[in-house]
Amino acid sequence: MPQLANNAAAGRPVRSSAKLFLCGDVMLGRGIDQILANPGDPHLYERYVKSATTYVELAERIHGPIPRKADDQYVWGDALAELDREAPDLRIINLETSITTSRSLAPKGINYKMNPANIGCLAAARVSCCVLANNHVLDWDEPGLVETLDTLRHAGLAYTGAGRDADEAAAPAVIELAGGGRVLVFGFALKTSGVPPSWAAGAHKPGVNLLADASARSLERIARSVEAMREPGDLAVASVHWGGNWGYQVSAEERALAHALIDVAGFDLVHGHSSHHPKPIEIHDGRLILYGCGDFLTDYEGITGHELFRGELALMYLPRLTMPEGRLVSLELVPFQLRKFRLNRASPEDAAWLAAMLERESSPFGTHIALGNDSRLAVHW
C-alpha cells in the first residue's frame, strides 16, 4: 500500500514515500525474440553469427532445452512473483533493443530487434517506463526507432530518452503514482557507452537524447528542463547510459556528472546502466547513485569470455524515497540468475558472491552491503 501523509494546505492526502523497481539492460531481441510466441526474422549480419537461433542453441548446450513459443511471462520467471510481493510504485527498465520489423540495418556489427507482436512480454512485467537512450535502440535505423516508439505508445508503455525529434527525445516520461504524486524520468545517453554522435536526435531527425558533454552549460540546460516540468512533490530520475560493458571502475568524469545531476540539475536518483554486471553504489547528499545496474535479461547465456564478472547474475533494485524530498530511506537488492533465458532466484552462494563483490566495490564510496537470511541484499550508508 502507498504510504500517505495528509497535506493540510491542499486538503488531500499525498505520499510520504515511494518504492521504485529499477534494473539494468533488458534485451528482448535476437535469441530471446526467437523463443517468444511470435519470433521475428532470425537473420543476423554479425561477423560470426548469421541467425538469432544460434544464440538459443549456444545457451541450450550449457543448460539444456529452452521452450519455444514461450508465453509472455516466461523470461521474467521468478522476478514476477518478487515484483508482486514488493509491489513497487514504479517500474523502470533500460530497454536495450528495437521493437521493429525494419530491415534498414545500422552498420554497427551487432543489431538487436524484437518482433512488435511480442510486445506483450513487456506488458507482462507491468513496466512503467522504458528508457531508450542507449546504443541499440537505433540498430535498425530511423524506421526501426519510429516503429519502436509507435509500438510502445500503442501498448500504453511510457518511454523516454529517444524520440522523433530532439524535443521528444529530451522530454521526460511523466508517471502518475497511485495515491498521488508523480515521477519524472529523463533518459540520457553518453558517447562512452558506444552511442554514435550521428544517433543524436535533431530538430527534424529521430534519435536519442545524447548528452554531448558534461559542461556547466549543459548541466544548467538540464536543470532548466527539470525545473520547467517539475511540480511540487514530484520526484526526478536521471537514467543514464554510460561507460563500457566490463569493469568495475567508475571514472572521475562519471562520478562528477552523477554528483552534478543531483547538485545542479536537481535529480533525486541517478540510474546508471550499460555495464554487463553490477557496479558500485553511492549515496550522495542522501540521493541514490547506481553507477551500473548490470544486465537483467539478455541472450548472452552461451557466450564465453568474461566469466569472472558473473554476468549471468542479475539484480532487482528496490529503493524507497521520501516524498517530496527525494531522499533515500532504504535500498534492497534481490539477486537472480539467468538460466534458459529465464530469471531464477539466485542461490545463497551466488547471493553471497554478489554481496561480497558489491561490498568490495562500494565501500570506497561509503556504501556497505549486508547479506540477509533470505539471500536479499541490504544497502547501508
Which pLDDT does position 20 carry in this prediction? 98
User: In the chain, what are the domain boundaries?
Assistant: 23-380
Which pLDDT does position 2 carry in this prediction? 41
Grid coordinates standing for 9?
494546505
Which pLDDT does position 9 carry in this prediction? 40
Which pLDDT does position 14 carry in this prediction? 66
Residues of the chain scoring pLDDT < 70: 1-14
Q: How far apart are CA 135 and CA 58, in angstroms?
A: 24
Sign of CA dihedral 239, 277, 89, 118: positive
Strand arrangement of the beta sheet that strand 287-290 belongs to: 173-176, 182-189, 235-241, 269-273, 287-290, 281-284
Q: How far apart are CA 287 and CA 262, in angstroms?
A: 7
The pTM of the whole model exceeds 0.75: yes
Question: Burial letters for 4-34: b for 16+ Cβ neighbours within 10 Å, e otherwise?
Answer: beeeeeeeeebbbbbbbbbbbbbbbbbbbbb
Which pLDDT does position 15 carry in this prediction? 81
Q: How far apart are CA 43 and CA 320, in angstroms?
A: 43
Indicate the helix (H) or strand (E) that contains 374: none
The tens digit of pLDDT for each residue in 243-263 reads 999 999 999 999 999 999 999
Nearest CA to 291 among 344, 343, 233, 250?
250
Which pLDDT does position 325 carry in this prediction? 94
